[in-house]
Amino acid sequence: MLMNRGKNALAIALLGSLPMAANATNGDQVLDVTATQWGMGGAVVAAPQDTGTLLTNPAGIAELGIEEARFDLSPGFLNPPREVNGNESDSNLFFMPSGTAAFKINDQLYFGLGMAAISGFGVDFSDALPMQNNQQFVTTKGFFKLAPSIAYKVNDKLSLGGSVNIGYQSLALSTPGFTFAQNQQFGFGVTLGAIYHLNDKMQLGASWVSKTDVSEHEFNTAAGKFGVDIDMPQTFALGFAFRPLDGMLVELDAKWINFSDTMGSVNISHPAGYTPGDFGMMVPSTLKFGWDDQLVIALGVQKEINPKTTVRFGINYAEAPFGEEDVDNNLGSVAIPELHLSLGLTRKLTDRISGSFSYTHAFENELTSNTGSGNTISIEQNIVYVQLSYAL
């Protein structure tokens, strides 16, 4: 009896690792997608600095002063040391590609296209649970977004924009109870955004990203076909930007992420006639992660040191999306970083080319289950982005 209960607990705990992998900063969401944006701590809704804005607030591409076109290539590297019950993950370095571009059609109309890694990646624990040896679990999850966008500059005060979000999600899971091989699915959503200038020194920004409805992942196994349906949550963001001095920008943003809708619980569909243990597979019907909605506060400061050099500082905070009561169901998620500090730099290389760099550190956070299991998870992060920008 105790052995069966232990196996069931193990299966649930391992499955708790399924959706989230690299746990990229705000829950499983990256702060943003370029070095410039990361340098501001993700506070770029009201005063965007590059074409990466089309992935979060597409109205911003009408605010960049583009003469003909602008291109921003900005790969990132994430180092998120994670532990479950003192055991370290063997996968601790992830590549996060990002590329965006925008084109001026006329004085009012702009078109953009961009793609970036938004969340996911993977964990690889050789042994995770106390008093059980070699209970490995390995996950791989990636979510990439492609966003054709359009923006319209209504007048000198107001810009509006919209994007069609084409999501591409990859998912795989290996546990002692079963293996789901790599599978990919597409999903679709939209983004709407606006920027309004109160005066020459102050402006407001707002954006809404709809839920991305991803098709169900289907996994063929010896016991039949299983399905896992994981969507990406909707978000709503508001920003206020202020220019107190020449060459200085301060922005404060608030963003709401609707995790409770997509990560409160996730259903797994089973093949007809399946019973736990068939072909040695123990697959539950529901994964109760218990994630709550998350409120993210971001503050960014930017200052021109000279005509060629700009420096940035950012701070980003959001309470972990789940608490001590749900640690047991999120042993592989470890999606609990809360406080982030960022530094950034842009240097103009020529009149049309500039290079940027950012470094972000998410301070270590640890949660211990209050259910009596003794399970403890912890994470800290180091994120580096580089960026090459070209305007013509």
Residue 300 contacts by C-beta under 8 Å, 6 or more apart in sequence?
39, 40, 41, 42, 43, 44, 249, 250, 251, 253, 312, 313, 314, 315, 342
Task: Report the candidate in 26, 15, 14, 11 with the shortest Cα–Cα distance to residue 232.
Answer: 26
pLDDT tens by residue, 106-155: 999 999 999 998 886 555 555 455 444 444 445 566 789 999 999 999 99
| SS3 at position 234 | coil
- Tokens representing 26? 């705000």
Question: Amino acid identity of 356?
Answer: S
What's the mean pLDDT when you consider all of the chain?
Answer: 86
∠ Cα 90 217 225 (to 5°): 105
Q: Report the predicted TM-score, pTM, of the whole model to 2 decimal places.
A: 0.89
Alpha-carbon distance of 230 to 128, in angstroms, equals 24
Looking at the DSSP assignment, which residues form a beta bridge with residue 159? 153, 195
Mean pLDDT in residue range 290-313: 96
Q: What is the pLDDT of residue 161?
A: 98
Query: What is the separation of C-alpha 57 from the centre of its chain, rounded to a whole number of angstroms?
Result: 15
pLDDT tens by residue, 353-384: 999 999 999 999 999 989 888 889 899 999 99
Q: What is the pLDDT of residue 24?
A: 61
Alpha-carbon distance of 242 to 238, in angstroms, equals 14
The domains located in the chain, with CATH, are: 2-391 (2.40.160.60)
Please write down the HEC assignment for all residues of 241-286: EECCCCCEEEEEEEEEECHHHHHCCEEEECCCCCCCCHHHCCCCCE
Task: Report the candidate in 30, 32, 19, 217 with the shortest Cα–Cα distance to residue 122.
Answer: 19
Cα dihedral sign for 272, 187, 30, 96? positive
Residue 147 contacts by C-beta under 8 Å, 6 or more apart in sequence?
54, 55, 58, 112, 113, 114, 115, 163, 164, 165, 166, 191
Cα distances (angstroms) measured from residue 19 to each of 119, 152, 153, 309, 346: 10, 37, 39, 41, 35
